[in-house]
């Protein structure tokens, strides 16, 4: 572990100054595409402005024979495209794979000025982030970059899970963490074969009525990912970085997808992965606060005056702590309103309606 005074020092001569705070840019949906797939790649220009993040995926889901084509495809797309308000991320191959070194050297030196964040799969501990951190600093210096590339880890091994706090705090480059439920399930030897989402077998059952064990008893399906997401959110919040749900593989089940995304949003995640165009609108809906909730947050803010003490609003107690909850909502609405004109109008209407009532 570096000492506190060295933590923000560049790790290579000529590398850019590390950031002290992760930029608060909306990242509701990290949209995956395979740069070696011509149909998907052709859609990238039209997706700019419709998603917060476009991620050129080089790892799992890209066939081994296409790894080099995917890397080169991403370079070509990045060079030819103005991404405007949309961030460009990539997911590199795993650190023990034969491709990762060339992924990093090629991408940083060729398109490092376009890349906002590098997603690193199967991170096991702080040592993986330290390796990436130093290598990126060397490559940034070589490429003459003036802005550091940030790092995002996927939480998808049991060891990574146990080390999640140290991973989050391993470098000022750490932007956030995503849940990787497929690899994590395999690594933990969980007995689900689904990519994220629930399982009908994971449930609690109502007590027997009149001792009749075989009688009619309601069951309630539980969230397999609750513990993992909650722990990830705490680790991220502790280190001032962002938490994300990952993939939801049942593309056709848009209803359960929305539920899984909302659970993550309510627990503190700021976004999710979208694997298919059908999931983009769901992520936008779920990870943008409801204007009614934003209006309520503005009402509490107005009612709380200087922010201290307790008041009654609609029969409910509000105080310093509930005001802080409301400020989370207001701040998010302001950030999203600034990049999404339609939402901006709805949130402004929410704010104005409260201001009118107060006047």
Ligand X SMILES: CC(=O)SCCNC(=O)CCNC(=O)[C@H](O)C(C)(C)COP(=O)(O)OP(=O)(O)OC[C@H]1O[C@@H](n2cnc3c(N)ncnc32)[C@H](O)[C@@H]1OP(=O)(O)O
- Residue ranges of the annotated binding site for substrate are 91, 156
C-alpha–C-alpha distance, residues 206 and 219, integer Å = 6
Query: What is the contact mask toward ligand O=CC(=O)O in residues 151 to 190, using x (rule: CB under 6 A)?
Result: ---x-x-----------------------xxxx-------
Q: Judged by CB, which is closer to ligand O=CC(=O)O: 60, or 102?
A: 60
Task: Report which secondary-structure segment, H or E, holds 119.
Answer: strand 117-120
- The SS3 call for residue 179 is strand
Interface with ligand O=CC(=O)O in residues 240-259 (CB under 6 A)? 246-247
Q: Judged by CB, which is closer to ligand O=CC(=O)O: 228, or 346?
A: 228
Q: Judged by CB, which is closer to ligand O=CC(=O)O: 60, or 76?
A: 60
Measured at the CA of 347, the angle between CA 341 and CA 349, to 5 degrees, comes to 105
Query: 258 near 231, Cβ under 8 Å?
Result: no
98-102: which pairs have CB atoms within 8 A and are 24 or more residues apart? 99/58, 99/67, 99/68, 99/71, 102/71
Tokens 């207001």 locate to 330
Tokens 């997706």 locate to 47
**277 contact, one of ligand O=CC(=O)O, Mg ion, ligand X, none, CB 5-8 Å limit per kind:** ligand X
Q: Judged by CB, which is closer to ligand X: 34, or 110?
A: 34
C-alpha–C-alpha distance, residues 355 and 340, integer Å = 22
Report residue 143 as tokens.
């490429």
Interface with ligand X in residues 239-258 (CB under 6 A)? 247, 251
Give me the least distance between CB of 147 and ligand O=CC(=O)O, in Å please.
27
Report residue 99 as tokens.
């491709």
C-alpha–C-alpha distance, residues 86 and 197, integer Å = 27
Determine, following the binding rule CB under 6 A, whether residue 275 of this chain makes contact with ligand X. Answer: yes
Determine, following the binding rule CB under 6 A, whether residue 182 of this chain makes contact with ligand X. Answer: yes
Report residue 304 as tokens.
């709380």
Spatial neighbors of 207 by CB under 8 A, at least 6 apart, are 217
C-alpha–C-alpha distance, residues 264 and 276, integer Å = 19
Give me the least distance between CB of 225 and Mg ion, in Å please.
14
Report residue 256 as tokens.
């359960």
One residue of 40, 135, 327, 339 binding ligand X per CB under 6 A:
40
Q: Judged by CB, which is closer to ligand O=CC(=O)O: 178, or 346?
A: 178
Interface with ligand O=CC(=O)O in residues 47-106 (CB under 6 A)? 60
* Closest C-alpha to 27, from 140, 119, 121: 119
Tell me the window of 34-42, 100-108, 311-319, 336-344 that interacts with ligand X (CB under 6 A).
Answer: 34-42
Give me the least distance between CB of 246 and ligand O=CC(=O)O, in Å please.
5
Determine, following the binding rule CB under 6 A, whether residue 61 of this chain makes contact with ligand X. Answer: yes
Q: Which residues are near ligand X by CB under 6 A?
A: 32-34, 39-40, 43, 57, 60-61, 182, 195, 247, 251, 275-277
Q: Which residues bind ligand O=CC(=O)O (CB under 6 A)?
A: 60, 154, 156, 180-183, 246-247
């Amino acid at each position: 572990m570096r000492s506190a005074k060295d933590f923000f020092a560049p790790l290579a001569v000529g590398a850019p100054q590390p950031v002290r705070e992760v930029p608060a840019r909306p990242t509701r949906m990290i949209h995956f595409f395979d740069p070696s797939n011509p149909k998907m790649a052709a859609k990238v220009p039209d997706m700019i402005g419709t998603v917060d993040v476009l991620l050129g995926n080089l790892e799992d889901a890209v066939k081994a024979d296409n790894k080099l084509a995917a890397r080169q495809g991403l370079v070509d797309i990045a060079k030819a495209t103005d991404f405007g308000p949309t961030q460009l991320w990539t997911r590199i191959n795993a650190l023990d794979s034969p491709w990762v070194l060339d992924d990093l050297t090629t991408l940083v030196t060729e398109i490092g000025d376009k890349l906002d964040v590098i997603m690193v799969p199967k991170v096991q501990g702080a040592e993986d982030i330290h390796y990436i951190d130093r290598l990126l600093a060397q490559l940034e210096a070589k490429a003459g970059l003036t802005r550091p590339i940030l790092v995002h880890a996927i939480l998808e091994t049991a060891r990574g899970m146990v080390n999640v706090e140290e991973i989050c705090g391993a470098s000022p480059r750490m932007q956030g963490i995503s849940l990787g439920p497929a690899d994590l399930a395999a690594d933990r030897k969980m007995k689900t074969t689904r990519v994220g989402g629930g399982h009908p077998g994971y449930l609690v059952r109502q007590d027997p009525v009149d001792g009749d064990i075989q009688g009619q008893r309601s069951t309630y399906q539980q969230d397999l990912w609750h513990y993992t997401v909650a722990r990830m959110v705490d680790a991220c919040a502790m280190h001032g970085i962002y938490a994300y749900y990952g993939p939801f593989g049942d593309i056709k089940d848009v209803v359960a997808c929305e539920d899984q995304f909302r659970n993550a949003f309510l627990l503190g995640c700021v976004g999710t992965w979208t694997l298919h165009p059908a999931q983009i609108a769901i992520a936008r809906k779920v990870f943008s606060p409801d204007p009614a909730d934003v209006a309520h947050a503005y009402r509490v803010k107005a009612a709380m005056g200087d922010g201290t003490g307790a008041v009654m609003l609609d029969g409910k107690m509000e105080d310093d702590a509930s005001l802080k909850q409301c400020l989370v909502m207001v701040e998010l609405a302001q950030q999203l309103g600034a990049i999404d004109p339609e939402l901006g109008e709805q949130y402004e209407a929410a704010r104005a309606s409260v201001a009118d009532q107060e006047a």
